[in-house]
Amino acid sequence: GCAQKYIVKNYFYYYLFKFSAALGEEIFYITFLPFTYWNIDHSVSRRMIIIWSIVMYIGQVSKDILKWPRPLSPPVVKLEMRTDAEYGMPSTHAMAATAISFSFLIATVNQYKYPFELGLAAAFVFSTLVCLSRLYTGMHTVLDVIGGALISSVLLVLLYPAWDMIDHLLLTSPFCPLLSIAVPLVLCYNYPKLDYYSPTRADTTTILGAGAGATVGFWLDNQYATPVYTRENFQLEFPVITSKIVVVVLARFFVGIFVVLLTRWLVKSVVLGMLGYRYKFPIGDLEARRRLEVEVPYKFITYSSVGFCATVLVPLLHKLLGLM
């Protein structure tokens, strides 16, 4: 498909919802989730990443099991084309936005001193904007969006009582590194098969790979850096924002993002080159890269390296540069 022609009559809504749609895509995940790990709180970031991985896997698989089509065009005008090949129900944008915003609220409300009403309003506004963006861009029906938000909410309620237990096991179990890699790989290789190619398997492998790499990083940090369970729990106030804090936060972020993006590019190039040599195809062959034996390992290795880099290598670099 070619993109449809359309006339923008309200640029405020157009750019608002195009931006809001990006809050449910890789560019947001690869910046916001590491940002919380580097600048806010490790425990908050851990919980968000684990919840995000579980919720997104269930959402992606549900799409390819239910096989509900996206809205017909016409009558809607679709402002995006990459995900048009995917099925519609549930909206994983709605699921991710709900999971990330409300897990952030739940993870911080008892640990930091701030008005609960403010946090609730921020979570609601964030998730609502992302949900509405899927309607505006013509990618989902109202039912898709409501279904995604409800499924994510139910999963949050079901997983919340086990948060601390899961976190403890992931940080302390000697089997964590092995299971963190093996289980997602099994899930990726046994992803539901479709009659035609859809980017859902690639996106799911990306998410599970990033979560796996980050989880191994969490485990290593707890074993060899700063053990989480040797510290007492206490409530913190957000620090007064000064120019020095802003500079340090921005320095951590830009240094970290540069290293993460460099890692992604290097690992992707090396892995694709090796797979191309193994299966005899040029790196630019898109059809070959969509094959199961190529797509899963190259996506999984690339993004597990990204997750590991963000949780282990970048914090070490921050210490070396005096940014901690």
Task: Enumerate the active-site residues.
Answer: 93, 140
At 36, the amino acid letter reads T
Rg (CA), the chain: 20
How many Å apart are CA 304 and CA 54, to the nearest integer? 16
Q: How far apart are CA 141 and CA 4, in angstroms?
A: 18
Q: What is the longest distance spanned by two Cα atoms in the chain? A: 59
Please, what sign has the CA dihedral across residues 205, 207, 209, 215? Answer: negative
Residue 219: name the closest of 26, 86, 50, 27 by CA: 50
CA angle 206, 16, 122 (to 5 degrees): 75
* Contacts of 182 by beta carbon, 8 Å cutoff, 6+ apart: none
Crossing angle of helices 42-66 and 142-159, in 10° steps, is 130
* Beta carbons of 309 and 259 less than 8 angstroms apart: yes
